[in-house]
Amino acid sequence: MTPPFTAACIQNRAGPDMDAGLADAAGLVRDAREAGADLICLAEYFSCLDVAQDRFEVGARAEEDHPALPLFSGLARELEAWILVGSLAIRPPDGLGDGPGKGKILNRSYMIDATGVIAARYDKVHLFDVDLKDGESYRESDTVAAGGEAVLAPTPWGLLGMSVCYDLRFPHLYRTLAQAGASFLTVPAAFTKTTGEAHWHVLLRARAIETGCYVFAPCQYGVHGKAATYGHSLIIDPWGRVLADGGEDRGFVTAQVDPAQVEEARRMIPALKHDRPFDGPKRLTASKAG
């Protein structure tokens, strides 16, 4: 029987100064570990995020040059904690070749184990290209190349399925992860305030309920240039209950996680075993009168 553990979600507000963002996040990680957290999750682009009219600054670096990785690998080793580095803007070698991703960056999430080793990497699959009301528009695909692989990270408590922000709206990704063995799901985000107020809680609770997984969803808060993020970092249990909500300020939330509850939820409602094949919808035509 896998024993319970404590998970934490860090809620910060990044700006254009990466050094300041990293220092702030590292301090919050230390605070969360002091509060008893074994798994500490950071948000999407937690180290650098600033949106101007013609500029989207996320501090892109080559992986070997990104200061966040040695910093949080060292912290994980020092604190003997697992750390989800929510996402970093990574400039891949050779700009991803000559295809449509040429010259673009990757939105990459990392799981670092308690010895400081990177246990898993995940590149965000679904990119945030939307047009909201009042001229609020985003085109992540202009600068980011989509990933193409679902990723399970091994942890001492079971398999963890990785995702990032806009992935949340694509339930088949999470069902695939759960059916492949995930007991936990991470959704680091910089969810906009507009969409967060409408959809954040309900989408995250739905993903937990559909899969019978715990969900850890750290989200940035506040204003980043012309953009605003929602906050409300959430920890949700496999029955869809919100165990912790970060509100709209700097800090962190924690909750005890009992892996046995994953088994219990899936025993009561074994929906992951009830998938059945079916044909696509038929197109119906209106019958002619007379």
Q: By the 8 A CB rule, do 237 and 211 touch?
A: no
Distances, alpha carbon 94 to alpha carbons 8, 35, 102, in Å: 36, 42, 8
Question: What secondary structure, in 3-state letters, does 31-96 show?
Answer: HHHHCCCCEEECCCCCCCCEEECCEEECCCECHHHCCHHHHHHHHHHHHCCEEEEEEEEECCHHHH
**Which of 9, 41, 48, 165 is the catalytic position?**
165
Please report which residue ranges of the chain form alpha helices under DSSP H.
18-34, 68-79, 171-179, 193-195, 201-211, 260-268
Name the β-bridge partners of 125: none
Q: Is 57 a residue of the active site? A: no
How far apart are the C-alpha atoms of 225 and 111, rounded to whole Å?
29
Cβ-count burial 272-284 (b if 16+ within 10 Å, e if not): eeeeeeeeeeeee
Q: Is 44 a residue of the active site? A: yes
Q: Is 165 a residue of the active site? A: yes
**What SS3 class is residue 216?**
strand
**Which of 9, 41, 48, 124 is the catalytic position?**
124
Tell me which residue has tokens 């990270």: 153
**Which of 44, 57, 193, 219 is the catalytic position?**
44
**What SS3 class is residue 238?**
coil
How far apart are the C-alpha atoms of 57 and 72, rounded to whole Å?
21
Distances, alpha carbon 91 to alpha carbons 108, 162, 204, 265, in Å: 10, 20, 29, 40
How far apart are the C-alpha atoms of 143 and 103, rounded to whole Å?
8
Q: Which positions are catalytic?
A: 44, 124, 165
